[in-house]
């Protein structure tokens, strides 16, 4: 879907993206991660030509991106950023409708789409539709930013730390929402983050950048279990790799037949969240239920720890 072939970008004589080759497959959720200044945002902005690259080639849908007009690229790629960039004098509805308006969709269709997206992102349409950005909380503004990026059902969603300024709970809710949108729509998503847990939880593939170069790319599991060098190992945290691995598994994979006392946990819960429940309750065993609340089995604390053998 998107391919970088030996791409470089120089700012003031300094290469900030250096001979970068990347392939982002259609439908894949790719996360670009790396320390501050490693070139993540620059890489993302070169995809929709907010920044022009200096050398190499970037392809979108099989064509060199210079073949597209920047505005056409931007209509086909939703873009959401941490600082949100909502238009302050436009209502929520007008902000979300930016691209559909440009595409001259009929009024009724735009209204329907705005309602659909607001509902999807848990913003009550009738309550928030006519508000202005300054009348929203930071988290609500970021939801509007994500809704706007999704509005015209773009082929690609580019997100630069879209949940950056949020408290952990709101952040987790929005992460789950994005994961759900990805599952439902099968869209190609490229997300930039500093947050290792966010990367591990959302990505099909993680690309670790350092000084504008790819240090390693692969599945979350591969980066955790087969780091190619100490940089990668340190980045993903040597000490609690076992704990981080737990974020990748679900309770369903570790549970056994049987039953236990207490408030049940969902089979789809991550093992990492299950660990938190064990710690909070101080219990050795937790009953497990399915989506309909049916009893499925039991999770033993010791079986969680066995997972650590992987690391
Ligand atoms: N317009 C610009 N002019 C000059 N230098 C720039 C410009 N934009 C970015 N840079 C430099 O390029 C490097 C990479 O910047 P970039 O924004 O891609 O990093 P990043 O990985 O997104 O960092 P962060 O995690 O802090 O957002 C930095 O050293 C930055 O100072
Ligand atoms: Mg950045």
Q: Regarding the domain delimited by 2-237, which CATH topology (the fold level of the hierarchy) does it fall under?
A: Rossmann fold (3.40.50)
**For residue 28, what is the DSSP state?**
-
Long-range CB contact pairs, 65-73, < 8 A, 24+: 71/102, 73/48, 73/49
Mean pLDDT of 270-282: 84
For the cut 80, the answer to whether the pLDDT of residue 217 exceeds it is yes
pLDDT of residue 306 exceeding 70, the answer is no
- Closest ligand by atom to 34 CA: 1
How many of the other CB atoms lie within 10 Å of CB of 96?
Answer: 30
pLDDT at 304: 75
Mutate which of 39, 199, 235 to test ligand 1's pocket (most atoms within 8 Å of Cβ)? 39
Among 154-168, 243-257, 297-311, whose mean pLDDT is lowest? Answer: 297-311
Relative to the CA of 44, which ligand 1 atom is closest?
Answer: 18
What are the extents of the domains in the chain?
A: 2-237, 243-310
In the chain the first and final C-alpha atoms are separated, in Å, by: 33
Region of 236 please: left (phi>0), alpha (psi -120 to 50) or beta: alpha
What size, in residues, is the chain? Answer: 311
What does the alpha-carbon distance between residue 276 and residue 200 come to, in Å, rounded to a whole number?
Answer: 17
Q: DSSP letter at 110?
A: H
pLDDT of residue 165: 67
pLDDT given for residue 309 in this prediction: 34
249: pLDDT strictly greater than 90: no
Q: Which ligand lies nearest the alpha carbon of 11?
A: 1
Short-list 80, 78, 83, 81, CA closest to 151? 78
Q: How would CATH label the architecture of 243-310?
A: Alpha-Beta Complex (3.90)
Average pLDDT, the chain: 89
Instruction: pLDDT band for 310, please (50, 70, 90 cuts).
Output: very low
What is the C-alpha to C-alpha distance for residues 182 and 205, in angstroms, rounded to an integer? Answer: 14
Cβ within 8 Å of residue 291, ≥6 positions away? 266, 267, 268
Identify which ligand lies nearest to the alpha carbon of 43.
1
**Element containing residue 220 per DSSP (H, E):** helix 220-225
Residue with tokens 């509005």: 151
Compute and round to an integer the Cα radius of gyration of the chain. Answer: 21
Residues with CB under 6 A from ligand 1: 11-12, 16, 34, 36-42, 194
List the one residue out of 223, 271, 218 whose CA is nearest residue 248.
271
Ligand 1 atom nearest 34 alpha carbon: 21
pLDDT confidence of residue 311: 33
pLDDT class for 242, splitting at 50, 70, 90? Answer: low
């Amino acid at each position: 879907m998107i391919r970088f072939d030996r791409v470089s970008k120089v700012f003031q004589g300094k290469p900030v993206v250096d001979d970068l080759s990347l392939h982002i497959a259609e439908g894949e959720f790719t996360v670009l991660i790396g320390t501050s200044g490693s070139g993540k945002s620059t890489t993302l902005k070169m995809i929709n030509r907010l920044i022009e690259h200096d050398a190499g080639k970037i392809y979108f849908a099989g064509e060199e991106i210079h073949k597209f007009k920047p505005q056409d690229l931007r209509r086909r790629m939703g873009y959401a950023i941490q600082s949100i960039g909502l238009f302050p004098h436009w209502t929520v509805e007008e902000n979300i409708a930016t691209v559909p308006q440009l595409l001259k969709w009929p009024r009724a269709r735009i209204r329907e789409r705005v309602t659909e997206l607001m509902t999807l992102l848990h913003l009550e349409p009738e309550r928030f539709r006519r508000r202005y950005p300054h009348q929203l909380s930071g988290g609500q503004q970021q939801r509007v930013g994500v809704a706007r990026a999704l509005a015209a059902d773009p082929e690609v969603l580019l997100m630069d730390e879209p949940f950056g300024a949020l408290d952990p709970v709101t952040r987790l809710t929005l992460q789950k929402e994005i994961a759900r949108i990805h599952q439902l729509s099968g869209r190609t998503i490229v997300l930039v983050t500093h947050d290792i847990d966010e990367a591990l939880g959302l990505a099909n593939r993680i690309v670790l950048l350092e000084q504008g170069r790819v240090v390693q790319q692969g599945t979350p599991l591969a980066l955790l279990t087969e780091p190619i060098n100490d940089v990668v190992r340190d980045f993903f945290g040597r000490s609690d790799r076992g704990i981080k691995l737990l974020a990748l598994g679900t309770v369903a994979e570790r549970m056994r037949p049987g039953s236990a006392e207490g408030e049940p946990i969902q089979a789809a819960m991550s093992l990492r969240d299950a660990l938190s429940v064990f710690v909070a309750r101080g219990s050795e065993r937790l009953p497990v239920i399915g989506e309909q609340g049916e009893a499925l089995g039991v999770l033993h604390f010791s079986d969680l720890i066995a997972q650590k053998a992987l690391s």
